[in-house]
Amino acid sequence: MLILGIESSCDETGLALYDTEQGLLTHALHSQIDMHAAYGGVVPELASRDHIRRALPLTQHVLEKAGKSLADVDGIAYTQGPGLSGALLVGTSIAESLAFSLNVPTIGVHHLEGHLLAPLLEPNPPAFPFVALLVSGGHTQLMRVSAIGDYELLGDTLDDAAGEAFDKTAKLLDLSYPGGPAVSKLANLGQPGTYQLPRPMLNSADLNFSFSGLKTAVLTLVNQHGNTLDDVARANIAHEFQEAVTEVLTKKCMAALRKTGLTQLIVSGGVGANTRLRERLNMVAKRRQYQVHYPRLEFCTDNGAMIAFAGAMRMQHAKQTDHSFTVRPRWDLAELTRP
């Protein structure tokens, strides 16, 4: 089957073509970062309007790049949730309209399932079961993944997600949007040991996370400097902040592998692109003879390829509908079942 995947849950418009025999044929992505940077964050109405402008041209682009036409498409997968309501409606309505005109089935994909399965697009994918760290601006979760649709939540954030803490720290340090890459870039210039920030829940008996206190500690540090907060201090704070986050994430991942008795870890989501996090995970995992798998950097953030792939894994069980639709801005991953 040739599956067209459409991602429009937030501020990136992603299209992709996945063939169940040949694999990923092509994908294209338009990021709205430059548009939202002026506001310091995503403006939902602007995001929705931009998806409308980009989705169909990107669809045509991936078809042409793969040497295919709409007539070759056997099914359409789209992000049904969670995400911004208006943004989700754009991708969903386009998907269902195209499917109606082509008389092909559709499948609504859970955005987080797309991220969880993204490493399976790589040349040497992990085999089930494995532990997954889903770490982004909206989520920080550890899960046991036994099969597609069989997900057990092991740990979750009690407040801020790790990516959210990166973004808020970036604002405190007067860095540009998006905050995660800006903090990481600045952290490379910092000197270790200058400051000492807390490692929230580092030694807790569970696998949960908490990052709001760390963000508050950064705020306190910034306020203590007042007008004396120069570039050197900013770099040192960014360095210590990144060390705190990555230490907590690494230790919790190792604890999850130990608790489950599994030996494979996958890391997905935007924060999964963080170089320091990958360094720490790879170093500790190698020492303990664990394997860590990541999606390629371009698939850490939102993209159409992961939606096309996740949809392809479920499409054979999709039911033909009248193409009426709804979106699910809030959608618990635990509600999913095996295809």
**Cα–Cα distance between 61 and 27 in angstroms, integer?**
9
Give which of 59, 75, 44, 214 is closest to 140, Cα–Cα. 214
Residue where the block lists tokens 């007067």: 174
- Cα-based distances in Å from 53 to 8, 47, 84, 94, 277: 12, 10, 17, 12, 35
**According to the annotation, is 30 in a ligand binding site?**
no
**According to the annotation, is 167 in a ligand binding site?**
yes
**According to the annotation, is 274 in a ligand binding site?**
yes
**According to the annotation, is 101 in a ligand binding site?**
no
Residue 63 three-state SS: helix
**According to the annotation, is 111 in a ligand binding site?**
yes
With b meaning 16 or more CB within 10 Å and e meaning fewer, what string describes 153-186? ebbbbeebbbbbbbbbbbbbbebebbbbbbbbeb
- CB count in 10 Å sphere of residue 211: 26
CA atoms 138, 267, 32, 45: torsion sign: negative
**According to the annotation, is 174 in a ligand binding site?**
no
Instruction: Report phi then psi at 294, rounded to 5.
Output: -130, 150
**According to the annotation, is 180 in a ligand binding site?**
yes
**According to the annotation, is 302 in a ligand binding site?**
yes
**According to the annotation, is 150 in a ligand binding site?**
no
**According to the annotation, is 304 in a ligand binding site?**
no
**According to the annotation, is 72 in a ligand binding site?**
no
Residue 187 three-state SS: helix
**Cα–Cα distance between 269 and 118 in angstroms, integer?**
9
Instruction: Report phi then psi at 157, rounded to 5.
Output: -80, 140
- Cα-based distances in Å from 47 to 59, 86, 156: 18, 8, 28
Q: From the annotation, which residues make up the binding site for substrate?
A: 134-138, 167, 180, 274
Annotated binding site: 111, 115, 134-138, 167, 180, 274, 302
Binding-site residue set for Fe cation: 111, 115, 302
